[in-house]
């Protein structure tokens, strides 16, 4: 006699109003960082740069955390770039996911790092530290970004070089992509810096802006509210310090309902 089917006994109840998606691939970069891709629900729409609440069932209860969607709006799959916090309520579990596992996602995406929240400009700066690169991973792969801006500058600052790898992989992927590489052309400039070991570009992005080295290295004029737009994503301290420098240069903060010269993602949590 066959053993009774155990599916029901072990079935985890998925909460209402939530998508349950399947993990497709997982890539670990360092002991602190990893990326995963999962299936995208048929009806799920978002704007590149937005975030969603991602979760797992931990025991009987779902645990969620805000995650920027790292894939662009046109992608058939969803990608996320995550930190691993040893005691983190979600990431301590999420870092162990494998292809085939189920990840939860609340249905409504939101966020301020969207092109609609900026007034037209020539040059778009994306300032990121650590996993703050995630919303920009989405936006640099969206053709609309290059329709709206002549130059797109992605700055990514991490403690060490190993933590920059996701950014390098993204740029490599774009340069080798069947249609993106033509759309992007030479418009995308990647400016990776590290603060805790030797590398071509060293230092916090705030210091590099203050000294003017960022602009000299890129061969562009200093920040100008007439031409330049900004998006910021990183730790609370980084948001505050970068915002102060943009304001000092005369740029004003915008929002979805009031587009202006720069935007910040405050939902981001490290
Ligand atoms: P530092 O090494 O000088 O602290 P973390 O991994 O802690 O989130 O940091 C990611 C990167 O952000 C690090 O390179 C860190 O530099 C940098 N950073 C931390 N605080 C700020 C800040 N207030 N302004 C700019 N960069 C910052």
CATH of the domain at 74: 2.40.30.10
Q: Quick one: 75 and 148 in the same domain?
A: no
Q: Tokens 């993106």 appear where?
A: 180
Asked whether residue 127 falls in the same domain as residue 239, the answer is yes
Q: Is 84 contained in some domain?
A: yes
User: Looking at the structure, do residues 125 and 92 belong to the same domain, yes or no?
Assistant: no
Residue 76 lies in a domain: yes
150: helix, strand or coil = coil
Distance 236 CA to ligand 1 centre (A): 10
Residue where one domain finishes, among candidates 60, 77, 106: 106
pLDDT at 2 (0 to 100): 45
Looking at the structure, tell me whether residues 32 and 142 fall in a common domain. no
The residue to mutate among 81, 125, 204, having the most atoms of ligand 1 within 8 angstroms of its beta carbon, is: 204
CB of 15 closer than 8 Å to CB of 30: no
- My answer on whether 132 and 159 are in the same domain is yes
- 32 Cα nearest atom in ligand 1: 6
The domain total for the chain is 2
Let me know whether 168 and 135 are in one domain.
Answer: yes
Residue 149 lies in a domain: yes
Choosing from 82, 197, 235, 269 the residue with most ligand 1 atoms within 8 A of its CB, the one to mutate for a pocket test is 235
269, part of any domain: no
Does residue 208 sit within a domain? yes
Same domain, 167 and 130: yes
- Where helices occur in the chain by DSSP H, the ranges are 7-10, 91-94, 134-139, 143-148, 165-175, 180-184, 205-211, 213-218, 236-248
Q: Which of 140, 171, 174, 151 is nearest to 68 (CA)?
A: 140
Task: For residue 37, give Cα distances in angstroms to 23, 41, 80, 213, 239.
Answer: 6, 13, 6, 36, 27
Shortest-distance Cα residue to atom 3 of ligand 1: 195
Q: Three-state SS for 209?
A: helix
Neighbours of 15 (CB within 10 A): 14
In a domain, residue 155? The reply is yes
Q: Is residue 270 part of a domain?
A: no
Q: CA 158 to CA 130: how far, in whole Å? A: 5
Determine the Cα–Cα distance for residues 152 and 156; give it in Å rounded to an integer: 13
List the pLDDT tens digit at each of the 270 positions of the chain.
444 444 444 556 777 789 999 999 999 999 999 999 999 999 999 999 999 999 999 988 999 999 999 999 999 999 999 999 999 999 999 999 999 999 999 999 999 999 999 999 999 999 999 999 999 999 999 999 999 999 999 999 999 999 999 999 999 999 999 999 999 999 999 999 999 999 999 999 999 999 999 999 999 999 999 999 999 999 999 999 999 999 999 999 999 999 999 999 987 654
**115, 153, 156, 199, 242 from 202: Cα distances, Å:** 29, 17, 11, 6, 17
Which residues lie closer than 8 Å to 207 by C-beta, 6 or more apart?
A: none
Number of other residues whose CB lies within 10 A of the CB of residue 89: 13
Pocket of ligand 1 (CB under 6 A): 129-130, 157-159, 195-196, 204-206, 235, 237-238, 241
Integer angstrom CA distances of residue 234 from 140, 144, 227, 229, 246: 17, 23, 23, 17, 15
Same-domain pairing of 38 and 136: no
| Cα(159) to centroid(ligand 1), Å | 7
Of 57, 80, 106, which closes a domain? Answer: 106
The domain in which residue 219 lies consists of: 115-264
One domain, residues 38 and 77: yes
Residue at 90 is within a domain: yes
Distance 7 CA to ligand 1 centre (A): 46
133 and 238, same domain (yes or no): yes
58 touches 88 (CB < 8 A): no
Last residue of a domain, one of 80, 106, 132: 106
In this structure, the answer to whether residues 101 and 130 fall within a common structural domain is no
Q: How far is 108 from 229, CA to CA, in rounded Å?
A: 27
Quote the CA–CA distance of 151 and 138 in Å, as a whole number.
16
97, 151: one domain? no
Q: What is the dihedral of CA 103, 170, 188, 264, to 10 degrees?
A: 30
Q: Which of 159, 163, 199 to mutate to test the pocket of ligand 1 (most atoms within 8 A of CB)?
A: 159
> How many angstroms separate the alpha carbon of residue 206 from the centre of ligand 1?
10
């Amino acid at each position: 006699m066959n053993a009774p089917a155990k599916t029901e006994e072990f079935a985890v109840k998925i909460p209402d109003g939530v998508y349950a998606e399947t993990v497709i691939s997982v890539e670990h970069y360092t002991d602190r960082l990893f990326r995963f891709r999962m299936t995208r629900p048929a009806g799920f729409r978002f704007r590149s740069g937005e975030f969603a609440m991602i979760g797992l069932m931990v025991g009987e209860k779902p645990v969620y955390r805000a995650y920027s969607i790292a894939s662009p709006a046109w992608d058939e799959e969803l990608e996320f770039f995550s930190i691993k916090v040893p005691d983190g309520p979600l990431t301590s579990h999420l870092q162990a996911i494998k292809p085939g596992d189920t990840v939860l996602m609340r249905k409504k995406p939101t966020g301020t790092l969207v092109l609609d929240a900026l007034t037209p400009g020539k040059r778009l700066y994306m300032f990121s530290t650590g996993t703050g690169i995630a919303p920009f991973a989405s936006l640099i792969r969206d053709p609309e970004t290059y329709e709206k801006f002549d130059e797109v500058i992605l700055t990514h600052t991490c403690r060490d070089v190993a933590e920059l790898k996701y950014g390098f992989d993204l740029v490599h992927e774009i340069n080798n992509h069947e249609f993106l590489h033509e759309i992007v052309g030479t418009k995308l400039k990647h400016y990776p810096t590290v603060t805790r070991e030797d590398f071509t570009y060293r230092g916090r992005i705030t210091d590099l802006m203050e000294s003017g080295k960022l602009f000299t290295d890129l061969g562009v004029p200093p920040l100008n509210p007439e031409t330049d737009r900004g998006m910021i994503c990183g730790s609370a301290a980084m948001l505050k310090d970068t915002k102060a420098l943009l304001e000092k240069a005369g740029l004003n903060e915008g929002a979805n309902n009031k587009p202006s010269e720069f935007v910040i993602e405050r939902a981001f949590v490290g």
